[in-house]
A = this chain, B = another copy of it.
Amino acid sequence: MKRLFAFAAAALMLASCAQKTAVTSELVKSMSSPDGQLTMSFYMTSEGTPQYSLKFADKDVILPSSLGYELRGNLKAQNLVVNSDVVDKLDNDPSLPFNVGFIVESIDTCSFDEVWTPVWGEEDQIRNHYNEMVVNLIQVDGASVNTVMAQADANNGNDSESALEGKRMSIRFRLFDDGLGFRYEFPSQKSLTYFVIKEELSEFKMAGDHTAYWIPGDYDTEEYQYTQCRLTEIAQNFSKALNRNDSQTPFSPNGVQTSLQLKTDDGLYINLHEAACVNYGTMHLLLDPKTLTFVSHVTPEANGWKGYMQSPRTSPWRTIQVTDDARKQLASRLVLNLNEPCALDDVSWIHPTKYMGVWWEMIAGKSSWNYTDELPTIDLETVDYTQTTPNGRHGATNENVRKYIDFAAANGFDAVLVEGWNIGWEDWANCNKDYVFDFLTPYPDFDIEALNAYAHSKGIKIVMHHESSSSVRNYERHMEAAYTLMNKYGYDAVKSGYVGDITTPGDHHYSQFMNNHYLYAITEAARHHIMVNAHEASRPTGLCRTYPNLIGNESARGTEYQAFGGTRPNHVTILPFTRLNGGPMDFTPGIFEQNLEAWCGNKSHVNCTIANQLGLYLTMYSPLQMAADTPEHYAEHMDAFQFIKDVAADWSETRYIEAEPNDYLIVARRPKQATLTGSAAAFSKGHDTWFLGGVTDEQARSFTVALDFLTPGKTYEATIYADATDANYETNTQAYTIEKRMVTSADSLDVFMAPGGGFAVSFLAK
Q: A residues near B, CB below 8 A? A: 75-76, 78, 80-87, 89, 188-190, 193-194, 196, 235, 238-239, 242, 244, 248-253, 255, 279, 301-305, 308, 310-312, 375-377, 379, 427, 430-434, 473, 476-477, 480, 503-507, 511, 513, 516, 520
Would you list the 9 A-B pairs with minimal beta carbon distance, nearest first?
A303-B506, A301-B505, A308-B432, A82-B239, A302-B506, A194-B431, A302-B505, A302-B302, A303-B505
Q: How many angstroms from the CA of A249 to the CA of B81 in the assembled complex? A: 11
| A749 shortest CB reach to chain B, Å | 46
Residues of chain B with a CB closer than 8 A to A249's CB: 89
- Cross-chain contact A504 with B308 (CB below 8 angstroms): no
Excluding A194-B427, A194-B433, A311-B377, 9 further A-B contacts by CB distance (< 8 Å) are A80-B242, A82-B239, A279-B434, A302-B506, A302-B507, A308-B432, A308-B505, A312-B379, A473-B473
If over half of A's interface residues share one DSSP class (helix, strand or loop), that class is named, otherwise mixed; here it is loop
Give, as a whole number of angstroms, the nearest-CB distance from A524 to chain B: 9
Nearest CB of B to A387, in Å: 14
- The interface residues of chain B lying within 8 Å CB-to-CB of A235 are 84
Flag if A238 contacts B301 (CB, 8 Å): no
> B506 contacts A431, CB within 8 Å?
no
How long is the Cα–Cα vector from A76 to B311 in the complex, in angstroms?
A: 42
* Complex CA distance for A469 and B303, rounded to whole angstroms: 19
Question: Could you list 5 examples of A-B contacts with CB < 8 Å?
Answer: A193-B377, A194-B433, A302-B302, A308-B433, A505-B507
Given contacts A302-B302, A432-B194, contact A253 B311 (CB under 8 A): no
Residues of B within 8 A of A480 (CB): 480
In contact, A434 and B302 (Cβ under 8 angstroms) = no
Neighbouring B residues of A430 by C-beta, 8 Å: 75-76
For A310, the closest partner residue in chain B by CB is B377
Q: For the complex, what is the distance from the CA of A255 to the CA of B85, rounded to whole Å?
A: 11
A499 to chain B, nearest CB (A): 14
Which residue from chain B places its CB closest to the CB of A249 in the assembled complex? B89
Question: How far does the Cβ of A6 sit from chain B's closest Cβ, in whole Å?
Answer: 31
Nearest Cβ on chain B to A225's Cβ, whole angstroms: 15
Nearest chain B CB to A322's CB is how many angstroms away?
30
| A250 and B87 contacting across the interface, CB-CB below 8 Å | yes
**A252 and B513 within 8 A (CB):** no
- Please name all residues of chain B whose beta carbon is closer than 8 Å to the beta carbon of A505 when the two chains form the complex: 301-303, 305, 308, 506-507, 511, 513
The interface residues of chain B lying within 8 Å CB-to-CB of A248 are 78, 80
> How long is the Cα–Cα vector from A494 to B511 in the complex, in angstroms?
33
- Chain B residues lying within 8 Å of A194, measured Cβ to Cβ, are 377, 427, 431-433
User: A231 to chain B: closest CB distance in Å?
Assistant: 16
- Taking a contact as CB atoms under 8 Å apart, the answer to whether A506 and B301 are in contact is yes
Asked if B427 contacts A193 (CB within 8 A), the reply is yes
Please indicate which of the listed interface residues A76, A238, A248, A377 has the most CB atoms of chain B within 10 Å of its own CB: A377
Name the residue in A82, A196, A302, A305 with the highest tally of chain B Cβ atoms < 10 Å from its Cβ. Answer: A82
Pair A431/B310 contact, Cβ less than 8 Å? yes
Please measure, in the bound complex, the distance between the C-alpha atom of A71 and the C-alpha atom of B76, giving whole angstroms. Answer: 36
Query: Which chain B residue lies CB-closest to A250?
Result: B87
- Contacts A430-B76, A505-B513; is A238 near B376 (CB within 8 Å)? no
CB neighbours (8 Å) of A87 from chain B are 238, 250-253, 255
Q: How many Å lie between the Cα of A302 and that of B82 in the bound state? A: 22
Which of A248, A432, A511 gathers the greatest number of chain B CB atoms within 10 Å? A432
Q: Which residues of B contact A80 (CB under 8 A)?
A: 242, 244, 248, 250
Contact, CB under 8 Å: A433 / B377: no
**A82 contacts which chain B residues (CB < 8 A)?**
238-239, 242, 250, 253
Q: How far is the CB of A186 from chain B (nearest CB, A)?
A: 10
